[in-house]
Amino acid sequence: MGFRLRLTVAAAALLLALGAISPLRAQSISDAQRGEIEKIIRDYLIKHPEVLQEAIAELEKKQATAEAERHKSAVKDNAEALFNSPRHVVVGNPQGDVTFVEFFDYNCGYCKRALEDMNALMKSDPKLKVVLKEFPVLGPGSVEAARVGIAVRMQDKTGKKYLDFHQKLMLGRGQADRARAIAAAKEAGLDVARIERDLNSDEVRVSLEESMKLAEKLGLNGPPSYVIGNDVVIGAVGLAALKEKVNTARCGKATC
């Protein structure tokens, strides 16, 4: 029996016991009486196992609702850094009516697949503002690649060469690291000598710190993760789900 199921059984047993026994009597229950109560509860759950499913479903619903509220609060508290920071990359429409923020890691396999979803959204939705934030949590190579990415952003204010670099590195073979990131930057036509100089700048350090602190405040547990409107989305949920979130942010419905 898994931990969640054991927890549910324990909660059900406690509720049944509390319903049958007053607080005063509960203090004076003998071992024999306790054993009888446990047998009654066990027999009931065996005869009505659907109660466990209902309890788990209700627990998950309450947990999801509470988590969504925590996320909305975190988004509100950190809105300026999330949506208007000068230390992130904006692609898509900078004046878009919905902002789509992605936290990514260049060594994240799911992020590589999610790149296609982001490109499809930008292509089909000219009113979408897309913000890219480094979230290098998959090892030293990820951190090195992220630092190069920030240096690329520093010399490309339009985001066009950055997006080319981003796609080349994200879709490249092998583990991303400094060398592979530098190679992708060179291929995208960026000034590699300037990147090398900028890698040790305060801007790179502060940008990375800001992004990682934001991820922590939002409770993100891995890439890719998104902030779309007021909602936080964890994981590569697919194009259809992302479109629904964008529409909900835009018009309050899954389909506008």
In this structure, are 39 and 101 located in the same domain? no
Q: Is residue 85 part of a domain?
A: yes
Among the ranges given (4-18, 174-188, 217-231), the one the predictor scored with the smallest mean pLDDT: 4-18
Q: Is residue 51 part of a domain?
A: yes
Q: Is residue 94 part of a domain?
A: yes
In this structure, are 132 and 243 located in the same domain? yes
C-alpha span between 180 and 141 (Å, rounded): 9
| Of the candidates 213, 254, 244, the residue with the CA atom closest to the CA atom of residue 74 | 213
In this structure, are 116 and 200 located in the same domain? yes
- Reported as a single tens digit per residue, the pLDDT across 59-76 is 777 777 777 778 788 899
Number of domains in the chain: 2
Identify whether 126 is preceded by a cis peptide bond (ω within 30 of 0): no
In this structure, are 108 and 60 located in the same domain? no
Q: Is residue 154 part of a domain?
A: yes
In the prediction, which pLDDT does 56 show? 80
In the prediction, which pLDDT does 91 show? 92
C-alpha span between 256 and 244 (Å, rounded): 9
In the prediction, which pLDDT does 148 show? 98
What angle, rounded to 10 degrees, do the helices at 160-170 and 178-187 form?
Answer: 130
Domain boundary among 55, 77, 99: 77
- Reported as a single tens digit per residue, the pLDDT across 199-211 is 999 999 999 999 9
In this structure, are 68 and 155 located in the same domain? no
Beta carbons of 45 and 8 less than 8 angstroms apart? no
Q: Is residue 41 part of a domain?
A: yes
| Of the candidates 80, 78, 26, 72, the residue with the CA atom closest to the CA atom of residue 230 | 72
In this structure, are 70 and 131 located in the same domain? no
Domain boundary among 54, 77, 100: 77
Q: What is Dmax (Cα atoms) for the chain?
A: 80
In this structure, are 141 and 164 located in the same domain? yes
What range does the domain containing 63 cover? Answer: 3-77
Fill in the DSSP letter of residue 30. -
The overall average pLDDT reported for the chain is 87
Both tokens assigned to 254: 């899954």
- Reported as a single tens digit per residue, the pLDDT across 20-51 is 444 445 556 777 777 887 788 788 778 888 87
In the prediction, which pLDDT does 20 show? 46
Mean pLDDT of 106-134: 95
Mean pLDDT of 223-228: 96
β strands within 95-146, DSSP E: 98-104, 128-134
Q: Is residue 164 part of a domain?
A: yes
C-alpha span between 74 and 231 (Å, rounded): 10
Domain boundary among 37, 54, 77: 77
In the prediction, which pLDDT does 119 show? 96
Q: Is residue 227 part of a domain?
A: yes
In this structure, are 73 and 89 located in the same domain? no
C-alpha span between 195 and 199 (Å, rounded): 6
Among the ranges given (40-54, 103-117, 139-153), the one the predictor scored with the smallest mean pLDDT: 40-54
Q: Is residue 256 part of a domain?
A: no
Model pTM score: 0.76
In the prediction, which pLDDT does 45 show? 77
In this structure, are 98 and 155 located in the same domain? yes
Q: What is the CATH number of the domain that holds 165?
A: 3.40.30.10
C-alpha span between 169 and 49 (Å, rounded): 51
Strongest mean pLDDT among 11-20, 26-35, 113-122: 113-122
In this structure, are 206 and 100 located in the same domain? yes
In this structure, are 86 and 159 located in the same domain? yes
In this structure, are 116 and 168 located in the same domain? yes
Residue carrying the six token digits 């796609």: 167
